[in-house]
Amino acid sequence: MLWNLTCHTPECVNDNFTVQFPDPEPLVICGGCHQEITDKSPTETKES
Amino acid sequence: MANLPVSTVFTDGNALSAADLTTLKTGINQTYSTTYPNQLSFLSMSDSVLRPVPFATSTDKLSFSTNVNAGAGTGATVTFARSTRFTQNPIVTVTAETSPSTAYASTNAALVTTTGFTWRIFNVGSTTITSYYIHYHAIQMTSAAADNN
């Protein structure tokens, strides 16, 4: 499952930038600021 | 040597002339599309050899102060800084720098995408790892592929 991961560290190069990653580990670290990313949510999936 | 720029030496300290720019552009296009498709390269002036340059890279050193007991492991997901730089899943090499230095650890990249990767560390020795760094190098060699073989 794809997850949206968004860093919210001020002045981080990834601040407010959302990336998608499949099945991330419980601990997700932003490579821009080395802070934990806590804004994590599954991407919406379409029901057929 | 085929497909090299017809001129590789330009006047130092001055703006390139229109003719020089055309020459440079033509040479780069020839090299790019014919000799090494999708591969940015530079011509070494010392031996006239074309050497490839990575399309995109990312390296980092992450610090952790948590124990990893003998026979146990852990891991995390890392997003790349400026996560749009990769257009293909890069080749990611992961290694650990452990404390104490007598410890033994196995590391791997478990899942790699253009936006990040998951790394894991496992303590294969008998000494508790009390802190460690995760070093990684992600590389995409050409605009079309992670490797350039």
Say which range, B9-13, B37-41, B93-97, has the weakest mean pLDDT.
Answer: B9-13
Instruction: With a cut of 90, say whether residue B18 has pLDDT above it.
Output: no
Query: Residue A24 and residue B118: Cβ atoms within 8 Å?
Result: yes
| CA dihedral (A16, A18, A24, A29) positive or negative | negative
Given an 8 Å threshold on Cβ–Cβ distance, is B60 in contact with A28? Answer: no
B115 vs A contacts (CB less than 8 Å): 5, 19-21
Contact B79 A22 (CB under 8 A): no
Residue A47: pLDDT band by 50, 70, 90 thresholds? low
**B68 shares contact with chain A (CB less than 8 Å):** no
pLDDT for B54-102, tens place per residue?
A: 989 999 999 999 999 999 999 999 999 977 899 999 999 999 999 999 9
Dist CA B46 CA B20 (whole Å):
21
**Any idea where the domains of chain B sit in the sequence?**
1-53, 56-140
Does B78 touch chain A if contact means CB atoms closer than 8 Å?
Answer: yes
Phi-psi category of residue A23: left, alpha or beta, with phi > 0 → left and psi -120 to 50 → alpha: left
Question: Rounded CA gap, B92 and B84, in Å?
Answer: 16
Residue B4: band (very low, low, confident or very high) from pLDDT cuts 50, 70, 90: low
Name the helix (H) or strand (E) containing B35.
Answer: none
**Least CA distance to A24: which residue of chain B?**
B77
Query: Which pTM value belongs to this model?
Result: 0.80
The CATH number given to B56-140 is: 2.60.40.2080
Using the predicted structure, report yes or no on whether residue B1 has a pLDDT greater than 70.
Answer: no
Q: Is A2 on the interface with B (CB under 8 A)?
A: no
Query: Looking at the DSSP assignment, which residues form a beta bridge with residue B133?
Result: B63, B97
pLDDT higher than threshold 60 for residue B30: yes
DSSP B90-111: PEEEEEEEEESTT--EEEEEEE
Instruction: Write down the ipTM of this complex.
Output: 0.91
Which helix (H) or strand (E) segment holds residue B42: the answer is strand B41-43
Mean pLDDT of chain B: 86
Residues of A in contact with B118 (CB under 8 A): 24-25
Minimum Cα–Cα distance from B60: chain A residue: A31
Residue B2 predicted with pLDDT over 50: no
